[in-house]
Structure 1
Amino acid sequence: MQQHTTVIDKAAMALSGGLMLLGVVVLGIVEILAGKPYSAAPLTNDAGEIIATPMVDPTLRTGLVLAGLLVLALYGVYRLVAPMKTETATTQQEITAD
């Protein structure tokens, strides 16, 4: 059985992949280039004062990854609901027996 990708297939793959790559890889590199702290939580000293915060808000990164997963879930629901195209049917011809 051949798999044919449609415009919707390509758009869903590109959008979901792009959102997840942006949230994980690109913003992760931005965090590394920005320097310490590398953790999602702000760093505090012994007195409880915040001394350093992450450059990109962790909720933004999480939101981008979840948006990518939501696009994949919606695409999966679409594939379940959308009618499948039937392949070219072979015609049967009657053959008389001898």
Structure 2
Amino acid sequence: MTDIIDKAAMALSAGLMLLGIVGMGIVEILVGPPYSPVPMTNDAGEVVAAPLISPQVRTGVVLAGVAVLGLYAVYKIVTPLADDAATGHETVAD
């Protein structure tokens, strides 16, 4: 069973990761070659091509999605413990 927090966490993390990986990748492809994550220079040292979206921005968006999943995991670990303590459930040890 999923509640609103579960759905929000899954949607936000999936949206951030898809935006960072697929969405920004498609934008880079549509802009055209070269497909380099770093600025390209000629023999004289001047920049002739640079990526439209910085790799640091793309990585940051993906890591934000992973961080949301991490926070969601911590929430799911802590929530049952708080529910059990509030209702007074005991666990039987073998």
TM (norm. structure 2) is 0.82
Match of 2:13 in 1: 16
**Within 2, Cα distance between the matches of 1:8 and 1:38?**
38
Aligned residue pairs total: 83
CA RMSD of aligned residues (A): 1.4
Mapped pair 1:43 → 2:40: yes
**Within 2, Cα distance between the matches of 1:65 and 1:33?**
20
**Within 2, Cα distance between the matches of 1:39 and 1:6?**
42
Please list every run of 5 or more consecutive structure 1 residues that lacks an aligned counterpart in the other structure. Answer: 87-98
**Within 1, Cα distance between the matches of 2:24 and 2:69?**
21
Q: Percent identity?
A: 63
Match of 1:95 in 2: none
Which structure has greater helix proportion?
Answer: 2
**Within 2, Cα distance between the matches of 1:38 and 1:22?**
18
- Write out per-residue CA displacement over residues 16-46 of structure 1, whole angstroms, 9 at most, x where no aligned residue: 0000000000110000000112121111112
- State the 4+ residue runs in structure 1 displaced beyond 2 angstroms: none
Question: What amino acid does structure 1 have at the position aligned with 2:9?
Answer: A
Please list every run of 5 or more consecutive structure 2 residues that lacks an aligned counterpart in the other structure. Answer: 85-94
**Within 2, Cα distance between the matches of 1:54 and 1:25?**
15
